[in-house]
Structures are given as C-alpha cells and as structure tokens.
Chains A and B, each alone.
Chain A
C-alpha cells in the first residue's frame, strides 16, 4: 500500500535545474496565484485597519445585502459585517495553513531523512508508521479528535499536522535514498564528514525544492481541512474562520446567500492559489514534464 494520497506530489523529482526562477516567473497563472496569496496575507496582516468593523460584534442592521451603505459585503444574522469577518477569517486560514504545513514538512523531513539515509530496519519501521498514517481517514479522525479533546487553534493545527506528514516523508525518503548513492555524497563521506553534517549540508539542500512543492500543496490541503472542521462547528470559538462562517450561512441560505458566497469564494481562491503555485513550482523544477511531447 504505497500509493500517495495526494498524487499531485508524486511526480516530483529531485532535479533542480538552472533557470528555475525564470521558468516560474514565465508562468502567468503562477504569478497570478502568488499575487493573490500576497494580497490575502496583506489583508490578514492589516485586518484591524482594513476591516472597518469588529468582526465579532453585531449591530442593529442584521441581514443587510451586499452593497449596503457601510457594509459592502452585507451583514450576517447578528448584524456582523461580512467583509470584516472574511478579512479576519483569512488570519485563521493562513495561520492554520502555513503553520500546519511547516510542522508537517518538518516531521516529514526528519522521518523521511532518517528512513532514507539509514535504510534497513529504521526505514522499514518508519515507512510502516507513515503508511499507517496515510491509511487513516484524515478528516473524520481530525473531527473526532477535536470533538474529544476540545477545539482551539493550536489543537487544530497540531491534529492536521500529525495527519499530514507522511506525504513529505515518502518524498524525502525517496530523494535521500537515491542521493545517498551519488558520487558527491560518497566523496563527502570519504572526506570524513559525519552522518549529521552529511544529511544537513549535502543531502537536504538537494531535496529542498521538491519539499517546497509539497509544502505548498500541504498549505492548500490544511486550509480545506480546517474549513471543514469549522463547518462542523469545531473551529476555535474565539476566532472567526471561513469554515464557521459557512456553518452559520447554512441555516440562512434561503435569505442571505452572501453569507455563503464570500467566505466560500475566499477559501476556494486561496486554496486554488496554493495548489496552482505548487503545480507551477513542480513544472518549473521538472521542465521535461512540460516539454516532452
């Protein structure tokens, strides 16, 4: 049972050709995605200044449609401003997405690096464990863990990260075990370099690029997963998130479509941007996959 849960990352090889940045910049969709991600990050960072309203505090004007004076995306059932909520929601989604991906990639690099470098029983055990984690139904398990242990931003991040690392681990393992055979690594070993220095200085820089690709795809997956948790009412109650906005929108679909449209669009576009960026990075890393006819 070794197929990936996320086949997008499967084709990633270890090559890091010259002209990588140039190729990346030439992809218009990639630049568009990067631009959108930049915009979302900016809005999230400047939320207090661009929101215009407190997202948690309602007013007398409930259920105002978009383009109402003072509330250009409308208000929700409690009179809270949808724009303000969307902007503050970006904070949670980005935080969960980025931090989770960072955790997942870190665990994946350590596990994959150890398994690939040492091989033998270390490899067998670690890969069995990652296989087990890959088999687990991520969303349902995350739901239940949060339901059991209580919700909270850090718990959400931790749970998603724990369930997301095997992809990276497998990738790093494959790269490392093939790099281990390369002459320049042998040369370094003969030169008296220790295992740890060898892993950190010679091997990891060579698998850095594919790791960034999976990282980008991990961000997208984590944002989607968090939105699902929020929709199930298991997000952090102290923060507005896009998923929890959609949860509330569900009851008012008939009368307040804007409560669903804007947060949903925000999730879809952000996730799409990270996915597109991941794909573009991958294409830029492996120009052959594009050129071959």
Chain B
C-alpha cells in the first residue's frame, strides 16, 4: 500500500544543505505494522514527516525518491493535492500529545477538524462521538467538550489518534506515540493501536527508539542509523538473530527480565551529525568489529541475506553478538 523508494531529506542550514535522510526504502501493507527504530538523530522522524511532505522546520524538504501510496506517486503533487492526502489517506500522531493539541479549542472540535478540512461537515459531531468511543474513551460526549488541559496524557493521545483516523485513512504514522506517557498508560495505547490495526485493516508506521515497543506492536522492523536503514527484517527474526552490530547493540541495551544494574549496556559514542559523516560504513567509528580497509572505504549497500531480511554490514553474520565477540 505504501512504498517508499530511495527517499532523501535535506535541511538547508545557511548556504549548506545537510542530508539527514539518505536513500531510505520501505513499505507498509494494509493491516501491517512496521517499525522504524533508531536513536535520536537517526533520521527516523524526518522520514516519517517526509511521507506527509510536512516538516517541523521550514528549512527541511524532500530531496529525492518516490512515495507510492495505493498506486499513486505522491512526489510531484501540488500543495493543494498534498493537503488532500494529509488526514484523508494518511493520519499522523505525535510524541507529546499535550503540545500537539491546541490548548484553546475543545478536543472534540480538533477531532472534527480533520473532517471539516476535507469538506465533511455533515454529521461531523456524530462521527466525532463514534471515534471517541472507538478510542475507548469513557462518556465521549463529555470528553469532546473538554479542553486538552482537562484530560490526562493517555486521553490526549487517544484524541490525537481519533483525529488522525477520522477519515479512515489507510495509513497511520505514529511518531514516538508513547514516549511522553507513563509506562502504565503506554501499554494501553499500544494495545489500542494493535486493535485498530486489526479492526480497521490499518497500516501503521511506528517510529520509536524503543525496541520493546516494536516487539509488542510490529511485524516488520527497519533499524535506522545516521539517515540510512542498516538492517531490515521480520520482528521475530531480528530479535532472534540481529546481524548488524548496531542492531545487536540496540538489543543489548534493552532492559530484559534478566538484566541487572551490573550488566546494563549502552553503545558508546553518539550518532554523527550530517555535517561530519564518516566515510565508508557510517557506523564504523562506534563499531566493535571495525576492520580498517574494509569498513572505512565506500558506503556498504543494503544486501538481502539468505533466510530473509537484509543489512548493510560487510561482516554480517560473522558474530552472533559483535559486542561480546561470540562467533
């Protein structure tokens, strides 16, 4: 349903142009949840915004690639046509529901905004109540009249999801939908997303830094690093056997049932900025199995591996866990 091919995003900083997303490809089918995982600065959010051609900064723009949605290429649409896509064919929810809701407008009207923006004024109120009910909000009529500050974080996120799904879009983009919420509330939102996916046959693109969220919600996962996808696989396969040292590191830093304070792990260093991108494999300065001459020359391609999945590591498959060097 959604096919992203070779997507690139640049941000203009003065006279410079910084590529924050470089040649990213993935697809999302109906009823499928796909995770886009990475640290902050990996370009995962920018990729998501690009699908709507809507960026938080006026200096960012799509620099290349195609976005196919249900057989139509969105690249080259006019501003007006893009507006027709946003909200109607693709809905989006955001990280911090309190800042993404207008504080001065009752939440019901913000849900209805999606309907009105696309000319569906008739029966908008009834539809809003129906949606709030679908989001498992108690007494929808009452909630619809409330202002954002009168609701809890979890309720606000449900409102944002209702607004995003008002027109039954085929695709929902969820950018860190649970990061700003309490852990107990997080589970509720993830369950809701899964239920909606099944009931509405909804495609979900989930952006997160948290592999745990992906494990719970998604079928496919793409691991992003420094603007590129470094590994892609089915969720089960990736968790069983990550191939790229970066994915292995991310998994290693997850809190598992057997993790104790002593063996908490985090990948040393930080994601390089677009200005000082290392030559060769973008991960090599932080990589435990970096091999001079092999890894620092020419950018490695994303290679399909036997047994499913693909990754960008030239030493792929050499180690089960590069960080412990167990072959």
Give A contacts to B, CB under 8 Å: 293
Contacts and interface: CB of A to CB of B under 8 A. Distances in A.
A293 B59 CA distance: 9
Nearest to A292: B57
Interface in B56-95: 57-59
Contacts of A293: 57-59
3 contacts: A293-B57, A293-B58, A293-B59
Interface in B25-82: 57-59
Interface of B: 57-59
Contacts of B59: 293
Nearest to B59: A293
Q: Which 3 interchain pairs have the tightest Cβ spacing?
A: A293-B57, A293-B58, A293-B59
B14 to A, nearest CB: 12
A293 B57 CA distance: 7
A292 to B, nearest CB: 10
A293 B58 CA distance: 8
Nearest to B57: A293
B64 to A, nearest CB: 23
A293 B60 CA distance: 12
A26 to B, nearest CB: 16
A249 B30 CA distance: 81
A293 B11 CA distance: 13
Contacts of B58: 293
B16 to A, nearest CB: 15
A275 B58 CA distance: 31
B17 to A, nearest CB: 16
Nearest to B58: A293
Contacts of B57: 293
A293 B56 CA distance: 10
B46 to A, nearest CB: 16
A262 B153 CA distance: 61
A171 to B, nearest CB: 25
B318 to A, nearest CB: 45
A291 B260 CA distance: 43
A232 B57 CA distance: 52
B56 to A, nearest CB: 10
B143 to A, nearest CB: 31
A120 to B, nearest CB: 27
A231 B57 CA distance: 50
A58 to B, nearest CB: 61
B54 to A, nearest CB: 16
A288 to B, nearest CB: 15
A100 B174 CA distance: 56
A8 B58 CA distance: 27
B278 to A, nearest CB: 27
B261 to A, nearest CB: 23
A293 B14 CA distance: 12
A293 B55 CA distance: 13
A186 B90 CA distance: 50
A233 B59 CA distance: 56
